[in-house]
Chains A and B, each alone.
Chain A
Amino acid sequence: MDWISLLLVPAIKSLVVVVALLTGFAYLSYVERKLVARFQVRYGPNRAGPFGILQPISDALKMVFKEEIVPLNVDHVVYLLSPALTVMPALVIWAVIPVSGASFTLFGQTITPYVSDVNVGLLYILAIASLATYGIVLAGWSSNNKYSLLGALRTSSQMLSYELPMGITLVSVLLIAGSLSLVDIVQAQRGVWFALLQPIGFIIYFICGLAEAGRSPFDLPETENELVSGFATEYGGIKFALFFMGEYIHMITISALATTFFLGGWYGPFVNQIPVLGLVYFLIKVAFMIFLIVWIRASLPRIRYDKLMHFCWKFLLPLSLLNLVVTAVVLVLVG
C-alpha cells in the first residue's frame, strides 16, 4: 500500500495542521480581544456564550453572510485572488515545522510529527515568507484606490526590508546548529536553547517577525488614521476575513518559528519519558510568544513610517551582521 504513506498520510497531516491553524486563528482573535481589554481595564467580548467564548463563531457567521461588494473598476481576478495569496504562505510554512519529538504508529503507519523534513527547511521558510508580499501588493493595486495602493507599497517595502535582518539572524542560528533541517535545529537545542546562545539574534528575529506579520508597533499596513485601512480598504465580508486570517495565522507562524529556532522547539523536562509532553511544551512556548505579541500591541504606539525604515536599515541590519560575524568568530575559536 504505497499510496497510503505517499499521499494519504501527508494529506491527512496537512488537513490536521490547517484545521488546527484555522481554529487557532478564530480563538486567537477572541484571546487577543480579551487580553487587550484586560490590559486596558475593560471586559472585552462577554455577550455571546459564557465569557463570550462563542464570539469568534458569531463573527465568522456575520462575515460569511455579509453582502459581497466588489467596487467598480477593480481588476476582478487579481482582486479576488489576493486574499487567498495572503493566507497561503502562512499556512504552507507549517509543512516543515516539527510540533513534537516523537513519531507514533497508527494503523501500521509511522506518523512523524511534521509533514515533511526537507534538508533545506530553513531556506524553504525564507522563500515562502518572501511570497507573502504578493497578496498585499496585488490587493493594493487591484483595488483601484489610492489609499490601498499607498498602504500596499508601504507594507511591501516594510516586509522586504525586514526580511533581510531576519534572514541574517537565521544564518547565525544555522551556524550553531549546522543544519538547515528544522528537526535537526531543534535537536541541536537539546542542551541549551539558542535564545541563550543568541540573545541578540532572538530579539532581532522577534522584532523582524512583528514587522513581517504587520503587528503593532509595526502595523503600518493598516494605519487607520492616515490610510483608512491600507491595502484592505476596499475589501469586505469574507474577503476581509481572509486578510484578517492571514495576519493572525502569520502571528502564530512567527511564534512557532521563534519557538523552533530559539526556544528549543518541543524540548522540555521529562520529554524523553513521556513523548506527548513534546507537543504540550511546543504549544505552551507558542502561546507564550503570542502573548508577548499581544502584550506589545497593548503597550506600544505605532512608529512613524520613516523611523521604521531607518530602524531596519541603519540599526537592525548592521547589528544582525555584527551578530553573525561575532557568532562565526566565536564558533571558530571554540571549535
Chain B
Amino acid sequence: MAQQLQQGLFLALAGVAVVAALGVIFNRNAVHSALSLLANFVALAMLYVLLNAQFIAIVQVAVYAGAIVVLFLFVVMLLGAGGEMQMGGWLNWRTAFIVAAALVLLTLTGTAVFEGTINGAIGTATPEQIAQVGQTEAVGTALFTDYLLPFELASVLLLVGMLGAVVLGQRWRGAIAGRPSGEAE
C-alpha cells in the first residue's frame, strides 16, 4: 500500500515538475515563467520528501522557492515584464547553438540513464543511522567536521559578493547629487 502510494505520488509530482519546467520555457510572460519555476521547485521539494530527505526538501523551499524566485519576480516586475525580445526568424546562430547544446545534453543524459553509470559517491551513512541522529544533525555534523574548509570558504565568498553589491550600490548613489545617504530606503 505504502509502496503504491509512493509510486503514485512520484508519478504525479514528476509530472507536475516536468509540466512546470516546460512552462518556464514556453510561457511568453516572464512572470508566468517565474511562477512555473516556483511550481517546479515545490514539486522537486516534495520529491525530496519522498526520498526521505526532509532537510533538503525544506532547504529547497526556503532558499529557492522562498528567496530566489521572489528576487526573480522583483526584477521582472520592476524592470518591465511585458516586452518579449524578438529575434527575427528562428533560423539563426542562437537557435543553432541551442539545438546543438540540447543535443549534446540529451546524448549525455541518455547515455547516463541507459548505461546506468552516473552514481554519486556513496557515503557511509545508512537511512537508519540518519533517522537516529536526525537529518539536520547529520548535515550539520558533516558540514562542521569533514567539509569545514569548503563551508567557511563559501561563506567568505558570499560575504565578498555582498560587499561588492554594497560598493556598487554606493557608487551609483553618489551620482545622485544632494541626497543625504541616510534618507533612502
Contacts and interface: CB of A to CB of B under 8 A. Distances in A.
Q: Do A and B come from one complex?
A: yes
B1 A119 contact: no
Given A75-B31, A118-B54, A119-B54, A306 B66 contact: no
Contacts, number: 78
B134 interface: yes
B77 A141 contact: yes
B62 interface: yes
A130 B136 contact: no
Nearest to A179: B134
B66 A156 contact: no
Nearest to A81: B35
Contact of B62 (A130, A133, A180): A130
A130 B185 CA distance: 21
A120 interface: yes
Contact of A127 (B62, B73, B135): B62
Contacts of B29: 75
A65 interface: no
B61 A134 contact: no
Given A75-B31, A126-B62, A128-B61, A119 B67 contact: no
B185 A119 contact: no
Contacts of B44: none
Interface string A126-154: 11101101100110011000000100010
Contact of B70 (A124, A128, A156): A156
Interface in A26-41: none
A248 B6 CA distance: 35
Contact of A160 (B58, B62, B70, B81): B70
A321 interface: no
Given A75-B31, A78-B31, A120-B136, A137 B77 contact: yes
Categorize the interface residue count of chain B. 20 to 34
Nearest to A130: B66
Nearest to B66: A130
A123 B62 contact: yes
A123 B31 contact: no
Nearest to B45: A127
A305 B134 contact: no
Nearest to B76: A141
B121 to A, nearest CB: 24
A6 B5 contact: yes
A68 B123 CA distance: 57
B1 A3 contact: yes
A9 B73 CA distance: 38
Nearest to A129: B66
Given A2-B1, A120-B135, A127 B61 contact: yes
Contacts of A7: 5
Contacts of A120: 54-55, 58, 135-136
Contacts of A176: none
B2 interface: yes
Contact of A309 (B31, B54, B81, B185): B185
Contacts of B67: 130
Interface of A: 2-3, 6-7, 75, 77-78, 118-120, 123-124, 126-128, 130-131, 133-134, 137-138, 141-142, 149, 153, 156-157, 160, 179-180, 305-306, 309
Enumerate the 7 nearest inter-chain pairs by beta-carbon distance, A residue then B residue, closest first. A130-B66, A127-B62, A2-B1, A127-B61, A123-B58, A127-B58, A120-B54
19 contacts: A78-B32, A120-B55, A123-B55, A123-B136, A124-B58, A126-B62, A130-B67, A131-B61, A131-B65, A133-B70, A134-B38, A137-B70, A138-B73, A141-B31, A142-B31, A160-B70, A179-B134, A306-B183, A306-B185
Given A78-B35, A131-B66, 16 more contacts: A2-B2, A3-B1, A6-B2, A75-B29, A77-B32, A119-B136, A120-B54, A120-B58, A120-B135, A126-B62, A130-B67, A141-B31, A141-B73, A141-B77, A160-B70, A180-B134
